[in-house]
């Protein structure tokens, strides 16, 4: 299936889901497990380098970013697993129309700002 790790994962996931290719979805579930392991290894390597050159201060921001990405991958795994085991008939988030790319000429959502593109839901001030 020639998966492009991380960068192409979401595009391939949506394409496999839209075409109802359960075999490709099962393969992407395996890839998501590998990506999660790779993310954790990257986090630990980055932390080691950070602490070699910096004090701990500021690392909490990267903890949040890595932790959030790892948690999102685990959610993907859970959603794919339940769908492939016929516990879900649809994956609601993959049924939705894709939002515009923030780097597009029309600037899409969030103007490329993390706080505006991490979710279409309001993150603070609730």
- CATH, domain range 9-95: 1.20.120.670
Q: What are the residue boundaries of the structural domains of the chain, listed by start?
A: 9-95, 98-126
pTM: 0.77
CA distances from 66 to 42, 61, 75, 99, 121 (A): 9, 9, 14, 23, 20
- Report the 3 state secondary structure along 21-54: CHHHHHHHHHHHHHHHHHHHHHHHHHHHHHHHHC
Taking the mean position of all CA atoms in its chain, how far away is CA 105?
24
Cβ proximity of 59 and 50 under 8 Å:
yes
The predicted model gives 100-122 an average pLDDT of 60
pLDDT digits (tens, 9 = 90+) for 25-83: 999 999 999 999 999 999 999 999 999 999 999 999 999 999 999 999 999 999 999 99
pLDDT at 105 exceeding the cut of 80: no
Q: For 6-26, how does the pLDDT look when each residue is reduced to its tens digit (9 = 90+)?
A: 678 999 999 999 999 999 999
Tokens 């959030």 locate to 68
pLDDT in tens, 80-97: 999 999 999 999 999 988
């Amino acid at each position: 299936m020639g998966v492009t790790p991380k960068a192409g994962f979401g595009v391939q996931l949506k394409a496999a889901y839209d075409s109802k290719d359960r075999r490709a979805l099962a393969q992407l579930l395996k890839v998501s497990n590998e990506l999660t392991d790779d993310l954790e290894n990257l986090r630990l390597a980055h932390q080691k380098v950070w602490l070699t050159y910096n004090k701990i201060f500021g690392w909490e921001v990267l903890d949040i970013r890595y932790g959030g990405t790892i948690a999102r991958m685990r959610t993907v795994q859970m959603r794919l697993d339940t769908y492939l085991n016929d516990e879900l008939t649809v994956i609601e988030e993959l049924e939705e129309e894709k939002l515009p790319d923030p780097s597009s000429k029309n600037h899409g959502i969030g103007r490329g700002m993390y706080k505006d593109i991490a979710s279409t839901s309001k993150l603070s001030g609730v």
